[in-house]
Amino acid sequence: MNDSTQAKNDEIAFWDKVAGERIYAAFDREEYEEFIDVNLGKDLTGLKIVDIGSASGVSAALFAARGATVYGIDISPSLVEQSKTLWPEYKDRLNFEVGDAENLSFESETIDACFFGGVLHHFPERGQVYIEAARILKPNGIILAIEPNKLNFIELIEWAIADLRGKLSPNEYPINPIDMKQDLLEHGFSSVTLKCIRSDIPFLAQIPFISIFFSRQKGDWFKKPVLRFIDAFRAPENRGTFFIIKGKKNDK
């Protein structure tokens, strides 16, 4: 295994603290459901899916609800223990364990899909993560990820404010989706597609007093016309604050 650039102990400490504060998921349940249904399908019976960076298990449980056998992997022991208590209705096909995306325990070519829900941006260098995903996936297996968009200047403002407020882990960096697409193509994946999502001005929700009127669900009366104007001058890959990227492992 290559030397990692991720500060593992810092990452563990950050997420163990989060586990003590709340049930954590990077996205709303409704968002996860749309991601899954559009990109993998509503019936996942018979598939083996690894949810890498599964946090409190929200997305893993949604895969299991669609019939998949799911392995939720997280670097935080506290999040893994929390996950094991939250989804008893899927205990026959839902498994959680502590693990590292750069050194997975699965045998080669045994998994149908790898899912990263806001995880890859926690790795300053992602090459080893892609190598491991490609290793465990079956030929034509799917890699699916949702990540913050470095090309969106509004998202960069959000990150700067979040950093000042101490809301970021020590390893977080937004990702350039064009670079990530090229990286996947160079690590054994093909048919790579990306789509920008979350047309939003999220930093408004972090400003005291102003945040009363703005959240992801509130303030469209202001945000929509502003974004329509800004987007008229931006390329499609610069518009969403997050992006979905999907690829298929090359068939040998």
What value, to the nearest 5°, has the Cα angle with vertex 36 and ends 31 and 37? 100
Domain hosting residue 137, numbered range: 8-151+168-199+240-249
Question: Does 128 map to a domain?
Answer: yes
| pLDDT tens for each residue of 116-144 | 999 999 999 999 999 999 999 999 999 99
Q: Tell me if 89 is assigned to some domain.
A: yes
Please report whether residue 136 resides in a domain.
yes
Tell me the Cα Rg of the chain. Answer: 18
Judge if pTM exceeds 0.85: yes
Q: Residue 228 falls within a domain, yes or no?
A: no
CA 108 to CA 241: how far, in whole Å? 34
Gap between the Cα atoms of 71 and 52, Å rounded = 8
Structural domain contains residue 58:
yes
Residues 6+ apart with CB under 8 A from 152: 196, 238, 239, 240, 241
Residue 221 within a domain: no
pLDDT value for 2: 54
Q: How far apart are CA 149 and CA 241, in angstroms?
A: 5
pLDDT at 170: 82
Q: Residue 224: inside a domain, yes or no? A: no
Q: Distance between CA atoms of 51 and 197, rounded to whole angstroms?
A: 20
Write the CATH number for 134: 3.40.50.150
Q: What is the mean pLDDT of the chain?
A: 94
Within 13 Å and on the Cβ side, how many CA atoms surround 18?
23
Flag whether 227 is in a domain.
no
In whole angstroms, what is the distance from residue 79 CA to residue 62 CA? 17
- pLDDT for 114 equals 98
Strand ranges of the sheet holding 48-52, from the earlier edge strand across to the other edge: 94-98, 69-74, 48-52, 111-117, 137-148, 242-249, 189-197
pLDDT, tens digit, 9 for 90 and up, residues 71-127? 999 999 999 999 999 999 999 999 999 999 999 999 999 999 999 999 999 999 999
Looking at this protein, which amino acid is placed at residue 99?
A: G
* Number of compact structural domains in the chain: 1
Whether residue 197 contacts residue 240, with contact meaning beta carbons closer than 8 Å, is answered with: yes
What is the per-residue burial (b if ≥16 Cβ within 10 Å, else e) of 156-183? bebbebeeeeeeebebbebbbbeebbeb
Q: Which residues in the chain come in under a pLDDT of 50?
A: 1
